[in-house]
Every structure is written in C-alpha cells, then in structure tokens.
Amino acid sequence: MDTVTAIETRRSVKHFDPQHRMSEQETDELMRLAMLSPTAFNIQHWRFVLVRDAALRERIRAVTWMQPQITDASLLIVLCADLDAWRKQPERYWRDVSPEVQEGVVQAIDTYYAGRGQVQRDEAMRSCGIAAQTLMLAAKAMGYDSCPMDLSDLDEVGKLINLPHDHVVAMFVAIGKGIREPWPRAGQLLASEVVVTDRFA
C-alpha cells in the first residue's frame, strides 16, 4: 500500500475482532517500523508496552471509559516515554558516528534539556505522537485497523503497568481487525482555517 492510500484509509476503528491474533512476526515488524520514527537528537525515548495479559487489559479498560478496543484489539500498545532518557548514557544514541560528532551532540543534548522539565515532557509527547502515527500507518499497510486513544485515567494506567517514576504514559494505540465500518468522517475543517502562511493575522 502506498503512503497516500494508507493516510486516506486509516480511520479510528472502535470495534475489533476479539478472536483475531497477530503473529509474532507481524508484531515484531510493527515495532521495527515504529522504532524508525524520528526523535529530537535521536534520543528514542519512547517505550512501547505491549499489553498481552487479558486480565490486565480488563483492568486498563475499567479506567479507560470501558472502551472495547482495549480488550478486543489484537495488539494494545501503551506508548510511554522515559523523561530522563536525555541523560541516560546519551552517547549510545550516537554510537555509530565519529567521536567528535558524538561529543558535540551529547553536549548539545545536555545544554538543551538540563533543568527544563517542561521541554523534556513536551518532547516526550511529541515523540510518542509521531510514533503512534507511524504505528497506525504501518498497521494499515499490513492490512490492519487501529485506534489512537487517551480517554483514560493515565495515572491509573501507569500504576497498572508499573510505570517507572521518571516515565510518562502518553497514549495508547489499539491495532487489530476492524469488524464494523467506521462512521463517516465527522467534519473536516477547511484548509483556509487551519493552514496559515507566514504568520497569524
């Protein structure tokens, strides 16, 4: 499937075939593609929690407005981020470049993030959002449907997945075989409202 078709046909699917199982190879391929998503300074701070335990899915669903995607999707991915990844041996994010380049980037990472908690968090959310879209488009290209989700008590979800203290939960992506047509698109805004040239009026 070409990229334009994947973008045009991806929809947020609410009902998945609960019997369908995704193979390990397909799951590995999805994760390989997700991990090619861009991150600032190549920090790769996303952490993808694949929730396979049915009982855990039920408990997550209970704090996620009882949405059926949580339990019925073939794959439920909780996208989290390590807020401190920027200072955890950052040289490994640049291990394949020359020592001079590596040293320069590591210094720049420290300069950019040190003492800037809001920037660290914003960056984590950006990265997870981009990775989520990669997952959804890759899933579409592999013949699957998906749903991005965040209507949830994310603090409770964090407790359920033993989220480390320096990580955040950004959102979920549910992936599987859709069994109902999505509703027609709800109401797309016009480009004249959302596309701005140079500066706001």
Of 6-14, 80-88, 110-118, 159-167, the segment contacting ligand FMN by CB under 6 A is 6-14
Residue 149 interacting with ligand FMN (CB under 6 A): yes
- Residue 136 CB, shortest distance to ligand FMN, in Å, is 8
- Report the residue number, 102 or 148, with the smaller CB distance to ligand FMN: 148
| Count of beta carbons in the 10 Å neighbourhood of residue 79 | 25
Length of the chain: 201
Residue numbers 24-83 binding ligand FMN by CB under 6 A: 67
Tokens in use for 100?
Answer: 């001079």
> How far apart (Å, rounded) are the C-alpha atoms in residues 80 and 87?
17
Choosing from 150, 164, 166, 180, the residue that interacts with ligand FMN (CB under 6 A) is 150
Nearest residue (beta carbon) to ligand FMN: 151
Residue 18, judged by CB atoms within 10 A of its CB (0-12, 13-18, 19+), counts as middle
Name the pairing type of β-strands 46-50 and 75-82: antiparallel
| Count of beta carbons in the 10 Å neighbourhood of residue 130 | 15
| Count of beta carbons in the 10 Å neighbourhood of residue 76 | 26
Residue 177 interacting with ligand FMN (CB under 6 A): no
- Report the residue number, 14 or 167, with the smaller CB distance to ligand FMN: 14
Residue 140 interacting with ligand FMN (CB under 6 A): no
| Per-position x/- string for 154-173, each x denoting binding to ligand FMN as judged by CB under 6 A, each - no binding | -----------------x--
Query: What are the Cα distances from residue 168, in Å, to 15, 55, 79, 134?
Result: 27, 22, 9, 20
- Report the residue number, 101 or 151, with the smaller CB distance to ligand FMN: 151
Choosing from 76, 135, 147, 161, the residue that interacts with ligand FMN (CB under 6 A) is 147
Tokens in use for 176?
Answer: 């599987």
Catalog residues that contact ligand FMN under the rule CB under 6 A.
Answer: 11-12, 14, 67, 147-151, 171, 182, 186
